[in-house]
Each structure stands twice: as structure tokens, then as C-alpha cells.
């Protein structure tokens, strides 16, 4: 590209800076509230930039508000959903990518069409089913569905597997490997970039998921962080919620997402660009 004119540079930086301030300001306000004292909180006298530095809030949220427990619950739930969605989807994707059977084409179309069904339709019957199983106030309704292979994930991995040359499968077959061996020893290791991407998607979705826990978990000891934070913000009896503590908890909810994005963007990016080419090597 040719060299940019000074005026063009100037406008560009002005626009970027202005947008940066608008999009960055809520983050600063969040931190400012998180560091405010209880006195400031009661008066809602928050400032844009942190005026006080009450770091005790970050300890109080653990001692007074169960944050440790919420974090632990979130970690358990998200870990299991990642394991479940990655393994079940890759297993199913191998079937759709490599094996043919009467009805396999139709079933793939059925799989694709399930992506069009909004979750609101299946939500109520699923609640009734899980309630019958006695799973209300347990992690099961939040974890178990991920072990049944999400359609979108299956589709992504299948596209990836299709790009892996079948000659590798054939060679393994000659060496006496069965389908389970080919899946676990040949295909699974080669699909690692797309599996990492799916793990990241799965983390993002489940870490922040609010509606699921809201439906199934009433017991505060079982709540994941996303619901726990909201619980802290709803105080009964006309009292003011401890907003400084709420924002500390919100930061704990947000920071892992930012870290995962910073670490994970490389994987997601690689998964996109290397879709088939690197798998051939």
C-alpha cells in the first residue's frame, strides 16, 4: 500500500481514539465501582476513574459472598461441558465424515436442520424431563446435554476431517487398525486445532451461561458464578445491593473470558485458516 497522507493518519487516530474511549470507559467504571468503599456505594457516588482503592473488596467477596464456591462450581461445570462437547462431537463427526450407511445422508441433513430449532422450544420439555429424573439443583442438566454432540460442533469437525486424505486411513487399515484405532490414533490428533477452537467456544458459552442455571439451580451452594453474581445483586427487603462487591464478582466473571480470548484467539484463527491445508502435512 502506498504511504498514507498525514491528514488521513490524523483522522484515523482521532476516530480510533474516540471509539476506544467510548468502548473502554465501561471497563474503567467497572473497576472504579469494584474499588469503591461501602460508604461510596451506599451513596452511589461512584467516579469514572477509581477514586478509592479498597482492595479488601476482593477478599470480602470470598469471605462474605461465597465467591470461591461459585468459582468452583463454574469450573466444574465448564470443564465437564468442554470434555463432553469435544469428545462426543469428534466421535460423531468421524462417523459422518468417514462412514457410509443406509440413511447416513438423510441423518446428516437432519443434524444440520436441528441447528434451526431455537432452544426455547426444547427448553421446557427438557426441564420437565430433568425434573422427573430428580436433577433439579444438580449440575447434571447443565453438563449431560453436552455429551450428546452439538450439531454445530459436529459440522465443524466433519468439515475438518473431510480434508484429511483418506490414504492415511487406508494405510492404518492395512496395518490392521480398526475404526476405533483410526479415530483415536490418526484422526483425533490431527483435528487438534479445531478441537481447541471448540473447547474455547464451549468454555465461552458455558462460563457465561445464565438461563440454564437460572432454570435449574435454586440452591445458592450449587450456583455457578454467572448466577451467583446476579444473586449477590438481588437483595431483598428494599436494601441497596452491595454494588462494589457485585462489580468485583463481575470482574471475576469477566477476566477468565478475556484471558481465554487472548490465549485462544490464536487457536481459533488457526482453526479457520488451516481448515484443511495443515492437516495434509
Partner 1 sequence: MRNKEGAWFYFFISPWLAGFALLTLGPILFSIYMSFTDWDLFQTPHFIGFDNYQQLLTEDPIFWKSVFNTFYYALIAVPLGMAISLWIAYYLNKKLKGITFFRVLFYLPSVVPVVASSLLFIHLFAPSAGLINKTLQVFGIIGPAWLLDANWVKPALIIMSLWGVGGGIVLLLAGMKGIPAEFYEAAAIDGASSKQAFFRITFPMLTPVIFFNLVTGIIGALQTFAQVFIVTEGGPDNASQMIVPYLFQNAFRFYKMGYASSIAWVLFIIILALTLVVFRSSALWVHYEEGKNA
Site for partner 1 in 2-41 (CB under 8 A): 2, 4, 8-9, 12-13, 15-16, 19-20, 23-27, 29-30, 33
Which CB, 82 or 247, lies closer to partner 1? 247
**Minimum distance of partner 1 from residue 279's CB (angstroms):** 19
Residue 123 touches partner 1, criterion: CB under 8 A: yes
Q: For 214-240, give the DSSP string.
A: HHH---GGG--HHHHHHHHH--STTPP
Q: Which of 39, 107, 171, 235 binds partner 1 (CB under 8 A)?
A: 107
Cα 219 from chain centre: 23
Among 93, 91, 95, 115, which Cα is nearest to 103's? 95
> Rounded to 5 degrees, what are φ and ψ at 100?
-120, 145
Complex with partner 1: residue 76 or 151, whichever CB lies closer? 151
Euclidean distance between CA atoms 194 and 89, whole angstroms? 11
Cell representation of residue 105: 445422508
Q: Which residues contact 114 (CB under 8 A, 6 or more apart)?
A: 151
Is 149 near partner 1 (CB under 8 A)? yes
- Nearer Cβ to partner 1, position 27 or 55? 27
For the CB of residue 90, give the shortest distance to partner 1 in the complex, in Å: 10
Q: Which is nearer to partner 1, 8 or 170 (CB)?
A: 8
Site for partner 1 in 125-144 (CB under 8 A): 125-129
User: Considering only residues 67-106, where is the footprint of partner 1 by CB under 8 A?
Assistant: 88, 91-92, 94-96, 99-102, 104
Q: Is 46 in the site for partner 1 (CB under 8 A)?
A: yes
**Dist. CA 249–CA 60, nearest whole Å:** 10
CB atoms within 10 A of CB 144: 16
Interaction between residue 215 and partner 1 (CB under 8 A): yes
185-204 positions binding partner 1, by CB under 8 A: 204
Among 111, 142, 197, 223, binds partner 1 (CB under 8 A): 111
- The CA-atom distances, in angstroms, between 224 and each of 60, 64, 193, 198 are 18, 16, 28, 21
Rounded distance between C-alpha atoms, residue 257 and residue 260, angstroms: 5
Contacts of partner 1 in 238-257 (CB under 8 A): 243, 246-247, 250-251, 253-254, 257
Amino acid at each position: 500500500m502506498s504511504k498514507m497522507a498525514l491528514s488521513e493518519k490524523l483522522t484515523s487516530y482521532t476516530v480510533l481514539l474516540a471509539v476506544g474511549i467510548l468502548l473502554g470507559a465501561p471497563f474503567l467504571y467497572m473497576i472504579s465501582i469494584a474499588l469503591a468503599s461501602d460508604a461510596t456505594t451506599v451513596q452511589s457516588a461512584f467516579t469514572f476513574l477509581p477514586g478509592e482503592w479498597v482492595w479488601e473488596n476482593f477478599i470480602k467477596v470470598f469471605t462474605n459472598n461465597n465467591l470461591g464456591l461459585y468459582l468452583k462450581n463454574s469450573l466444574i461445570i465448564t470443564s465437564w461441558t468442554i470434555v463432553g462437547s469435544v469428545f462426543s462431537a469428534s466421535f460423531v463427526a468421524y462417523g459422518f465424515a468417514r462412514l457410509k450407511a443406509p440413511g447416513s445422508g438423510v441423518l446428516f441433513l437432519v443434524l444440520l436442520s436441528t441447528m434451526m430449532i431455537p432452544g426455547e422450544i426444547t427448553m421446557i420439555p427438557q426441564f420437565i424431563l430433568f425434573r422427573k429424573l430428580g436433577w433439579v439443583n444438580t449440575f447434571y442438566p447443565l453438563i449431560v446435554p453436552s455429551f450428546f454432540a452439538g450439531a454445530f460442533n459436529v459440522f465443524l469437525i466433519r468439515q475438518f476431517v473431510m480434508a484429511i486424505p483418506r490414504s492415511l486411513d487406508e494405510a492404518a487399515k492395512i496395518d490392521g487398525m480398526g475404526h476405533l484405532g483410526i479415530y483415536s490414533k490418526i484422526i483425533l490428533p490431527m483435528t487438534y486445532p479445531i478441537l481447541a477452537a471448540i473447547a474455547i467456544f464451549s468454555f465461552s458459552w458455558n462460563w457465561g451461561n445464565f438461563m440454564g442455571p437460572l432454570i435449574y439451580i435454586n440452591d445458592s451452594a450449587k450456583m455457578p458464578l454467572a448466577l451467583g453474581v446476579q444473586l449477590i445483586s438481588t437483595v431483598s427487603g428494599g436494601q441497596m445491593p452491595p454494588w462494589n462487591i457485585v462489580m468485583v464478582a463481575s470482574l471475576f466473571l469477566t477476566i477468565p473470558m478475556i484471558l481465554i480470548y487472548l490465549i485462544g484467539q490464536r487457536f481459533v484463527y488457526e482453526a479457520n485458516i488451516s481448515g484443511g491445508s495443515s492437516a495434509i502435512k
